Structure 1
Amino acid sequence: MTAPETDHGGTGPCGSGPCAGDDLPVHPFLALRVAFGMLLCEDDFRVLMGNARGKLMLHQAWQHGPGVVWGLPVRRDGDELRVGPGLAVDGLGRELHLESSRRLSLRKWVKAWIEKHPEAVGKAEVRPEAGKRETDKTEGTGAGKRTPVKVWILAEFASRLDSPVPALADPCDVTRRHDDFSRVVEGARITVTAIPPPPWRPYHRVRVLLGLEEPGKDDSAGREARRVADEVAAVPAGERARALLAALRRLAAEDVTGLAPEKDEGEVCPSWAPVTEDHAGVVLAALTVEVTEDEGCVEVGKVTVDPWVRSAVLPTTTVQELTCALAPGLIGAAREDDAGGPRLVRPSLRWCRENRLLEFRVTKPLAPGSAEVESVEITSLDSGGRGWATDEVSRIRITDDGLCVLVDLDQRPAYETVRVRIRGTGPKPLYGRDPHVPFAGVDGGPPAGPDEGHDAVLTEHLPLAPATGRTEA
């Protein structure tokens, strides 16, 4: 991350890192031990202060992560950008409190930005407004070329000294000061940067498992998580919650083993924080400004503020309730017992004899005599708009082992898009041999009962053969 290009609202920070500035000590793993008669000095009190502060920062940084807690709205107000009061937690676990609004002059900021990036201005042409000719954009106005500039608004930690009180002069202090500051006021400063801090998104395997991320190139961990997700999806619905929990625990254990504090080259601060100071800022908004510069005259055009790029820190009570969002469906599926009916093996559909014979396999043997022409329905849809055709089934046969079904058609399907419906419902469904219950649908589908099963519906795309294909529904 580059250094902030604009620092607005700072009030004399005296320490912005977890170990920078002696006024805010941080000692998460060092505690004060006192005994009667000890002579304590300033350093001992600093250890006393730094332990509690360090413990809190350590917990917030690793257990909650950075984000906005409340407020900190960003909006344009005339020629200024205004950031309202609010609270955030940065990547080092420090609270960023903005007690009052901060204002940033867009014109002054744009002028400073142009001075730092003169080569970037003037490369983008001004687009003419609707209904105007291309030459109208500069005709008679002398306007320059407009450049869209995208930056990020950050909240970063800042502090200042306050409340001076009388103090004994330090013999080694040549200034012989007789007072010193007794308070450190913690707050936030608003900065603008061209490169935002990278988002802190640990637990990559878990995020892939839950569909929140995609495996990247040369991403063995992501591919492993995707394979585990596919295995969980293939588990029957009644057992899927337990399978997902087992997968979550396994992948989370692998993820947490690989976690480590981020380090910069030459890092001197304690290596306990998940990110470095350069990556600790909290993104509040993305800002796109159309900048026009013509012979030293700077103009600010359209300004777009996108606050949805920020991360929010949700309270625990909200997280608890969100975990119940899909629980009713999972609980119901887990409690519903599957009767154990045969299911369609997917993929097992195979067309033979110029598409006049359909063959498919099931997971358990079918009962003899349970397959009638009504047990399988085949229809096809014309891509030219002539509608659906019902493709008549002449007979259905079950092999001796009961695991394969052969469906004979009078003719091949009429059109290219073919729908196959294997019935586990209705008056004449396929039935299992042992247990003697209805067909339960596709393998891996929801539980089916002993009285009513599930249909399996699949779509096939079969090319037409002009010599044998029918032309009308």
Structure 2
Amino acid sequence: MSTPTAAEIFTPLDDLDPATPGDPFTRLRYSYGQLLGAEDFTTEQRYFLLRSRLHNAALHGFGTVWGLKVGSQENETALTLTCDTGLAIDPLGREVYVPQKVCLDITGLAATHFWGDLAAPPPAPGAEAGADSPLRRVYVVLRYRACLTEQVPAITQPCSGQDAGLAPSRVLDGYRLCLEATAPDLTGLPVRDITARANPPADLRTRLLEHIIDPDTPPPARLWSGADDAPLLLAVLDLEPVGTPVERVKLSGAIDNSVRALLPAVQSVADLALGIHLEAAGGIPRFQAGRLQSRAGEGADAARSFIEIATTRPLMAASVAPGSVRVLRFDEANKQWMPVPVASQTPSATGLSLVIDEVLPPGAPVQVYLLGTGAEALLDTTSQALAGAIGEVVPPGTGRDACLFAIHPTTA
């Protein structure tokens, strides 16, 4: 890996990480009258900081969280690379935040020693290697860097130099964004890739088990042992020299941002996996069936039974057809579910009321089947089809039947 010089660096923040080495499993225990020093407060910070990094790296991974798009501004005389603001997590679990758009003029890059470190891009699949290609490949790499700031007076040892009277009082979590001649090497970092396992078993749990207990997994202690270099590849670009002798460089093709690792939010993963947008609290609920209650009739209705079905949204009365709802009870004598005729179906703002012209046996299991598909599907007042029971995941625009169960009470 080349060591970038100032000419190839977007923003040079080069202090090492002061949180390491440390111990995320030791914290302070306070007692009345205890004397505390700087190292005690440092230990306190390291405990929470390093545990947060352990959580990030072990349970989330690494990559771009949002932003950090690498682009360009080019004309006939100049070429400037840009990187948008954004956030990433590196392989050591550290958040890397770029607070504003940054730029780097690389027009004269071919005149620097760095140009000699660059290699031609690999040939396209099936093509012959172009040893004489004038193109040079460059990798845009992001790293975490801590910046020590805000010097304050400090107590010094006898015979210390004049500069020893000041010490930084703040640590700014910064970044180093630079161009490199080779792709980042993540060897030895606690990075685990389940897709790289050879001959994975078909069973998902077994596959996960083998991945988790793999003895070749890099030890997590690398997260807090003092290792500082954990590069993140953001983009790849190919440059072409212009002029003889070379006067400037220009882009050859588009900047490839797709080479970076991605670290999407859990919300995004759930939306992609389930095919729906998971609504936030307070949003309009999906039209789904909820609680089912069964009760015996009283007085003039003693020969009847009643069933109440709650729904998350009001039903459209016109959609309630004779076959939209089916009721069954379990016949203990015959050991099977028996259909029960429904005398009436009355929609309301909170659900659907059913009247059964028979006395259901006390303690009998009752099953109600609601249609969300077909010609007799139940609709809400906005014409949305029933999307199953509450808790079911149904893609937008899809109806689903719902099956609810209850136990008929022993008393009215």
User: Given the two structures, how large is their TM-score scaled by the length of structure 1?
Assistant: 0.48
| Counterpart selection for 1:75 from 71, 74, 78 | 71
| Counterpart contact for 1:286–1:309, Cα < 8 Å | yes
2:192 is matched by which residue type in structure 1? P
2:105 aligned residue: 105
Tell me the secondary structure at the aligned position of residue 112 of structure 2: helix
Q: Does 1:154 align with 2:110?
A: no
2:9 aligned residue: 8
1:315 aligned residue: 265
| Counterpart selection for 2:52 from 30, 50, 56 | 56
Aligned-pair CA distance for 1:171: 3.4
* CA distance in 2 between partners of 1:176 and 1:192 (Å): 34
1:283 aligned residue: 233
| Counterpart contact for 2:143–2:177, Cα < 8 Å | yes
Greater per-residue strand proportion: 2
* CA distance in 2 between partners of 1:255 and 1:44 (Å): 38
Aligned-pair CA distance for 1:270: 4.5
Tell me the secondary structure at the aligned position of residue 155 of structure 2: coil
1:92 aligned residue: 92
* CA distance in 2 between partners of 1:318 and 1:275 (Å): 33
Tell me the secondary structure at the aligned position of residue 190 of structure 1: strand
User: Given the two structures, how large is their TM-score scaled by the length of structure 2?
Assistant: 0.55
* CA distance in 1 between partners of 2:155 and 2:136 (Å): 53
* CA distance in 1 between partners of 2:136 and 2:198 (Å): 35
Aligned-pair CA distance for 1:70: 1.3
* CA distance in 1 between partners of 2:275 and 2:245 (Å): 59
| Counterpart contact for 2:70–2:234, Cα < 8 Å | yes
The Cα offsets for residues 29-67 of structure 1, whole Å up to 9 and x where unpaired, read as: 221222222222221111111111100111111211111
The Cα offsets for residues 236-290 of structure 1, whole Å up to 9 and x where unpaired, read as: xxxxxxxxxxx11112111111155648xxxxx9434799644x21111111111
* CA distance in 1 between partners of 2:225 and 2:29 (Å): 28
* CA distance in 2 between partners of 1:201 and 1:158 (Å): 20
| Counterpart contact for 1:151–1:193, Cα < 8 Å | yes
| Counterpart contact for 1:150–1:289, Cα < 8 Å | yes
Aligned-pair CA distance for 1:188: 1.3
Aligned-pair CA distance for 1:307: 0.7
* CA distance in 2 between partners of 1:98 and 1:51 (Å): 25
Aligned-pair CA distance for 1:176: 6.3
* CA distance in 2 between partners of 1:274 and 1:59 (Å): 16
2:209 is matched by which residue type in structure 1? A
The Cα offsets for residues 84-110 of structure 1, whole Å up to 9 and x where unpaired, read as: 111111111111111122222222333
* CA distance in 1 between partners of 2:216 and 2:29 (Å): 29
Q: Which runs of 5+ in 1 are unaligned?
A: 17-21, 125-144, 208-212, 214-220, 230-246, 264-268, 327-473
2:207 aligned residue: 251
Aligned-pair CA distance for 1:303: 5.1
Tell me the secondary structure at the aligned position of residue 11 of structure 2: coil
Q: Which runs of 5+ in 2 are unaligned?
A: 124-131, 277-412
* CA distance in 2 between partners of 1:68 and 1:114 (Å): 27
| Counterpart contact for 1:71–1:87, Cα < 8 Å | yes
Q: Does 1:34 align with 2:30?
A: yes
* CA distance in 2 between partners of 1:95 and 1:160 (Å): 14
* CA distance in 2 between partners of 1:304 and 1:3 (Å): 25
Aligned-pair CA distance for 1:166: 3.1
Q: How does 1:53-452 map to 2 (within 5 A)?
A: 53-78=49-74, 79-112=79-112, 116-117=116-117, 147-171=134-158, 173-175=160-162, 177-198=164-185, 202-204=192-194, 207=195, 222-223=198-199, 225=200, 228-229=201-202, 247-258=203-214, 262=218, 270-272=221-223, 277-278=228-229, 280-292=230-242, 294-295=244-245, 297-300=247-250, 302=252, 304-325=254-275
Tell me the secondary structure at the aligned position of residue 254 of structure 2: strand
Greater per-residue helix proportion: 1
| Counterpart contact for 2:237–2:251, Cα < 8 Å | no
Aligned-pair CA distance for 1:68: 0.8
Aligned-pair CA distance for 1:318: 2.0
* CA distance in 2 between partners of 1:23 and 1:305 (Å): 35
| Counterpart contact for 2:141–2:178, Cα < 8 Å | yes
| Counterpart contact for 2:153–2:166, Cα < 8 Å | yes
| Counterpart contact for 1:66–1:90, Cα < 8 Å | yes
Tell me the secondary structure at the aligned position of residue 30 of structure 1: coil
What is the number of residues matched between the two proteins? Answer: 258
